């Protein structure tokens, strides 16, 4: 019988995360203090993060042990299966072999709990009582609510306003797991109040919601901030995805030719790909394709420079591809991909041409999602569907060339709470925002921060 899924036993689950920092082509430039232009030290981050996560942010250790309490929660859904997409291959009539790593099997339905559980654990160990965070599509907020529930922490979620209304059932998940949820911008923070005063009708954005959550954490001693993507420690926790995939591909006797993932802040793509980067740096012929929406084309049209991670300018300056921290992307359905910047580790590797990026508009993305649902049965999150679009295009290219490539993508989450978007698509109402963000990007880039002393 042909196999469709490659499983690891719980005993085979990786016990350490992989830290890419010692293997980078050159060291990651530090975060800078916006007031002084000097590198940010642990004391600058201590008001909002526990020390163990600050240490992970700058660690040069290649492997970092996963605490037992975190492993025991991972065991609820990990190791996640690697699927061979045989029915999709047949529908495409491609000579390529397509695999996907299924992160939708977590209780929250995405890869996000891999870091949420770790972050809740380290905050609990540090004596913190409450975590504040932002969420776009609601995937991250629900993952953190789940994790806080396991470690008896309170959880406050600032949810981007457009998604708050588009995805009411994500809110229900967060409520079931005990979190409180507000549509951002709110009038609870200075950042929210000032944005509401300027643009009362704003759809909100991840950048705005981050400003609110950071301010909340910085102004309450018992509260820390938790970020669902972008930062080095978040990407580190997600490497469990790629480490498992590597073992599973070896069991299947496969060597991947191309690895694909969608990118919002970069955490699922990086966690999936980073454990394979040393192979490429040693000369293996291997491509990494990051996929983003044309409505928020950070890697494909952004500028590689220092910028704030949030809209209000409360975070340190980060060297990354950015569309400008004041860029507010249109309210597309892949809410989790609406972020003006990207993870600095990922940006460095794209800048060094170790990884590549491409962008797609909504309609072709939903077309690929529908084909996937028809053939493989699982309904993808709109974010995940970006990766599927690229995998389908790669497989179609193999049809042209006759190459029998091994294509592997990360299935970052299911779309069970995105059915309104699917209804819009099926009814032909999904506007493919024939929108060129060029002018907006230009304007936002004019507002890039000046680095003091530079
Ligand atoms: C299912 C899913 N995939 C991908 C993303 C994008 O985030 P990241 O780039 O950090 O993986 C999100 C963000 O909310 C998501 O919900």
- Output the DSSP codes for 96-117: SEEEEEEGGGSTTSBSTHHHHH
Record the tokens describing residue 280, joined without a space.
């490429």
Whether 381 is in the pocket of ligand 1, judged by its Cβ within 6 Å, is yes
Beta bridge partners of 225: 132
DSSP state letter for 453: T
**Cis amide bond preceding 398, omega within 30:** no
pLDDT tens for residues 197-244? 999 999 998 889 999 999 999 999 999 999 999 999 999 999 999 999
pLDDT 10s digits, 392-434: 999 999 999 999 999 999 999 999 999 999 999 999 988 776 4
Over range 299-308, report the average pLDDT: 96
Q: Tell me the best of 268, 350, 415 to mutate to test the pocket of ligand 1, counting ligand atoms within 8 Å of each CB and taking the most.
A: 268
Do residues 375 and 392 touch, judged by C-beta distance below 8 A?
no
Residue 110 Cβ contacting ligand 1 at under 6 Å? yes
260 CA distance to ligand 1 middle (Å): 13
CB–CB of 286/394 below 8 Å?
Answer: no
pLDDT for residue 30 = 96
**Measured from the CB, is residue 384 less than 6 Å from ligand 1?**
yes
Residue 433's pLDDT is what? 61
- Average pLDDT of the chain to the nearest whole number: 95
Q: Which of 308-312, 376-380, 404-408, 429-433 has the lowest mean pLDDT?
A: 429-433
Q: Say how many C-beta atoms besides its own lie within 10 A of residue 232's C-beta.
A: 20
> Residues 245, 215: contact at Cβ < 8 Å?
no
Confidence band, pLDDT 50/70/90 cuts, at residue 451: confident
Going by C-alpha positions, the residue among 67, 43, 85, 62 that lies closest to residue 410 is: 85
Reported pTM:
0.96
Task: Kindly report the number of other CB atoms within 10 A of residue 453's CB atom.
Answer: 8
């Amino acid at each position: 019988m042909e196999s469709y899924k490659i499983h690891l036993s719980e005993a085979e689950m990786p016990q350490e995360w992989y830290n890419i920092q010692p293997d980078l082509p050159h060291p990651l430039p530090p975060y800078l203090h916006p007031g002084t232009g000097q590198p940010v030290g642990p004391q600058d981050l201590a008001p909002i993060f526990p020390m163990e996560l600050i240490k992970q942010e700058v660690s040069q250790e290649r492997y970092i042990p996963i605490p037992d309490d975190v492993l025991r929660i991972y065991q609820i859904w990990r190791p996640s299966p690697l699927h061979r997409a045989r029915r999709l291959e047949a529908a495409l009539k491609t000579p390529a072999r397509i695999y996907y790593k299924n992160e939708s099997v977590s209780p929250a339905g995405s890869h996000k709990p891999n870091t949420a559980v770790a972050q809740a654990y380290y905050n609990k160990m540090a004596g913190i009582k409450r975590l504040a965070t932002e969420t776009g599509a609601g995937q991250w907020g629900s993952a953190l609510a789940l994790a806080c529930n396991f470690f008896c922490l309170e959880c406050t979620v600032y949810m981007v306003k457009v998604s708050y209304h588009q995805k009411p059932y994500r809110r229900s998940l967060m409520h079931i797991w005990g979190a409180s949820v507000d549509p951002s911008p709110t009038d609870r923070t200075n950042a929210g109040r000032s944005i509401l005063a300027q643009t009362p009708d704003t759809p909100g954005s991840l950048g705005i919601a981050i400003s609110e959550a950071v301010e909340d954490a910085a102004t309450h001693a018992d509260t820390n901030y938790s970020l669902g993507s972008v930062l080095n420690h978040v990407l580190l926790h997600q490497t469990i995805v790629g480490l498992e995939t590597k073992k599973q591909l070896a069991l299947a006797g496969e060597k991947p030719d191309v690895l694909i993932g969608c990118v919002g802040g970069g955490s699922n793509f990086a966690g999936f790909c980073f454990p394979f980067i040393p192979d490429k740096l040693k000369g293996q012929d291997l491509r990494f394709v990051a996929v983003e929406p044309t409505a928020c084309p950070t890697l494909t049209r952004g500028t590689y420079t220092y910028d704030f991670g949030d809209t209000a300018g409360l975070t340190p300056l980060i060297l990354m591809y950015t569309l400008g921290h004041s860029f507010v992307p249109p309210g597309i359905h892949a809410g989790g991909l609406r972020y003006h910047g990207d993870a600095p580790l990922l940006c460095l590797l794209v800048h060094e041409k170790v990884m590549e990026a491409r962008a797609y508009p909504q309609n072709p993305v939903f077309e690929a999602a529908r084909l996937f649902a028809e053939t493989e049965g699982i309904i993808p999150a709109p974010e995940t569907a970006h990766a599927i679009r690229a995998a389908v295009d790669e497989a179609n290219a193999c049809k042209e060339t006759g190459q029998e490539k091994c294509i592997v993508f990360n299935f970052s989450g299911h779309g069970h709470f995105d059915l309104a978007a699917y209804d819009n698509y099926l009814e032909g109402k999904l506007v493919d925002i024939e929108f060129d963000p060029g002018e907006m990007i230009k304007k936002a880039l004019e507002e890039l921060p000046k680095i003091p002393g530079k």
